[in-house]
Amino acid sequence: MIDSDSLGTASANAIRQYLRAAQDYDIQPEDALNAAAIPAGILDNTIARVSGRSFQALIRWLIEQTRDPLFGLKSARYVQPGSYSLVGYMAMNSRSAREALHLTPEYEAIVGDMGITRIEKYGPHLAMRWVCQYDDPVVRPHMIDNVLGSWLLFARWLADLQDGKPEKVLFERPQPDARLIPAYEDIFACPLEFNAGKSALIFPEDVLDTPLRQPDPVLLSTLEQQAAAVMAEIQERHPIVMQTRTLLRTLMDEGIPRREKVAEQLGITERTLQRRLQDAGTGYQQLLDDLRRETASEWLTNSDMAINDIALRLGFSEARSFHRRFKTWTGITPGEYRQRHGR
């Protein structure tokens, strides 16, 4: 089972963006917070962070109440610098898109543990990729829509380029009903690819040289000092289980990570990693198996990937081994799971 800390925390600023969107549906913020058992203090800044589990529960409740398959996408329109906490204000004061972009992976935990941002090569272009950490299959597509839409709308504002658009947008989520596609085209204004295996904005590298609207290097330096202090506090509070799961999910694309590599990335010895995980009531293999189970279930539900390919990508030497392990996890075979839960 996934422990209660496995989704980390989320900042109040990230939550407020969803609450503002909810008001379009005549949902009052206090009612939404109460439904998810989140303290109302986030509305007046007396609560700085809440658990990721609570944030996920809030988004799930809002989706169910609005009954709008575009809720996540529409909530992107409420992005503002404050939505990203200190990271948003640092981006505002950066000199170029390049400077702003490279702040995100370093400081995004200030906003919350909802996902991991990676800057990757994508053919001749770059991909700003987001790996969603949340595990609720209802919430994930909405959150992916929100994050990619928010990134683009905020970038347009920062660069004062209202017509700016990526080369392409990739969504790991399933393709929505054809009647909903115009809403995506309205925001992104570029080719869209669903079931893409990853979620990312694709753009030419020279876009990074775009100057931003109001650079202030002196203020940026001050904000970075504040951000470093906040990050140190967050990292100190982060449980080892959360840190390890986050790193495992990030490294999964490169193959099944070895324990020594994870320990090295965390800056501790392999033995220390194992001891600290044991103290937390789990172990490296258990966390890896949990993540493989989650990923397998997600791919079987939301993608057309062949079961043999899923087995190989999850590190199984043959499909038969994957079938046996998956049946141990769920009580049914991968094929049966796809029949019951697939799109």
Output the CA torsion sign for 227, 230, 235, 236: positive
Question: What tens digit of pLDDT does each residue of 273-310 get?
Answer: 888 888 777 888 888 888 888 888 888 887 788 999 88
Question: What tens digit of pLDDT does each residue of 183-225 get?
Answer: 999 999 999 999 888 899 999 999 999 999 889 999 999 999 9
State the pLDDT at residue 9: 87
Has residue 3 got a pLDDT over 80?
no
Residues 274 and 198 grouped into a single domain: no
Residues 93 and 201 grouped into a single domain: yes
Q: Domain boundary residue among 216, 251, 280?
A: 216
Instruction: Give the confidence band of 140 by pLDDT, cuts at 50, 70, 90.
Output: very high
Residues 260 and 195 grouped into a single domain: no
State the pLDDT at residue 277: 86
The two beta strands, 168-170 and 192-193, are: parallel
Contacts (Cβ under 8 Å, ≥6 apart) of 181: 192
Question: Which CATH number goes with the domain that contains 335?
Answer: 1.10.10.60
State the pLDDT at residue 342: 67
For every residue of 81-147, DSSP letters joined together read GGGGHHHHHHHHT-SBHHHHHTHHHHHGGGTBSSEEEEEEEETTEEEEEEEE----TTHHHHHHHHH
Has residue 2 got a pLDDT over 50?
no
Q: What percentage of residues in the chain have a pLDDT greater than 70?
A: 97
State the pLDDT at residue 205: 92
Question: What tens digit of pLDDT does each residue of 86-104 get?
Answer: 999 999 999 999 999 988 8
Residues 200 and 307 grouped into a single domain: no
Work out how many domains the chain is built from and give that number: 2
Has residue 239 got a pLDDT over 80?
no
Residue 55 lies in a domain: no
State the pLDDT at residue 343: 58
Q: What percentage of residues in the chain have a pLDDT greater than 90?
A: 51
Residues 85 and 179 grouped into a single domain: yes
The two beta strands, 9-11 and 125-132, are: unpaired
Residues 206 and 94 grouped into a single domain: yes
Residue 42 lies in a domain: no
Q: Which residue has the higher pLDDT, 36 or 49?
A: 36
Residue 313 lies in a domain: yes
Has residue 157 got a pLDDT over 60?
yes
The two beta strands, 115-122 and 168-170, are: unpaired
Residues 281 and 316 grouped into a single domain: yes
Range of the structural domain that residue 262 is part of = 239-341
State the pLDDT at residue 313: 86
Q: Which residue has the higher pLDDT, 2 or 123?
A: 123
Residues 168 and 127 grouped into a single domain: yes
Structure tokens at 143: 């959150």
Task: Give the predicted TM-score (pTM) of the model.
Answer: 0.79
Structure tokens at 221: 């330096």
